[in-house]
Amino acid sequence: MLSQQKTEEILEAVWVADEEGDDSAANVRAHCPEDVSDDDLAELQRQDLVITEDQHLRLTGRGRTQARGVVRRHRLTESLLTYVLKLPESQAHEIACHMEHILPPEMEISICTLLGHPEFSPEGKPIPPGEDCLERLDSVQVQIVNLCEMKPGEEGRIAYIKPKHHRRLHRLSSFGIVPGVVVELHQRSPAYVIKFEQTELAIDRDVAEDIYVRRIS
């Protein structure tokens, strides 16, 4: 009988393999930190979690629901550890591999809200949205403004970053522009200049549009 943790590890590996466009059993095994036997796959099929066809694996509706939750918890935890606690990505990944199995639903929601319902993990992988993401985002949106809407001298705490290209997320985080950081808009023209943590940074409007802050009175 498969443990719940191993079941989740395999389902997560199937999800990641599918994201890559290679749902072969070999690729699933490559992504799973535990050994995956044919008996394991047969057990998941008996539980109606996966379908196996010609050495390819697909998630059933039930399996996709479980895998989605594991992937979401992993990538949210990774984001929190990287952006807020500023741990190295390798360390954040290791901790997230453990937390994805034990993170309570209420903590998952709190992390997602704190980070502003992020769409991508630090590695640029999509974070599956929770059922309450859009509803909660709408409810707090009135408190959150785009950086371009701020006036010189105003301060705001970064709520979330919604880059047009996920590679830009890495660039901004390398400068220290991450959720939770307090920034002051210094000037708007000819470039947007922000001050934060003894740092002054000039960014184009296109980049400023990606940054959303909660104004500080």
DSSP state of 210: T
Q: Which domain holds residue 191?
A: 142-216
pLDDT in tens, 98-143: 999 999 998 998 888 778 788 888 888 899 998 767 565 555 544 6
Residue whose pair of structure tokens reads 């199937």 in the numeric block:
14
The residue from 86, 109, 131 where one domain ends is: 131
- Specify which residues 150 forms β-bridges with: none
In a domain, 116, yes or no: yes
Same domain, 212 and 146: yes
Question: Residues 180, 157: one domain?
Answer: yes
**Residues 151-188: pLDDT tens digits?**
999 999 887 787 777 677 778 888 888 888 899 999 99
Domain assignment of residue 136, yes or no: no
Domain count, the chain: 3
3-class SS shares of the chain: helix, strand, coil, % to 5: 50, 20, 30
Summarize the confidence of residues 8-32 as an average pLDDT. 97
Instruction: Please give the Cα distance from 130 to 91 (Å, whole number).
Output: 25
Mean pLDDT of 39-60: 96
Reduce the DSSP state of residue 10 to 3 states and report it.
helix
Q: What's the one-letter identity of residue 3?
A: S
Higher pLDDT, 197 or 133: 197
Residue 26 belongs to a domain? yes
Which residues make beta-bridge pairs with 156? 183, 215
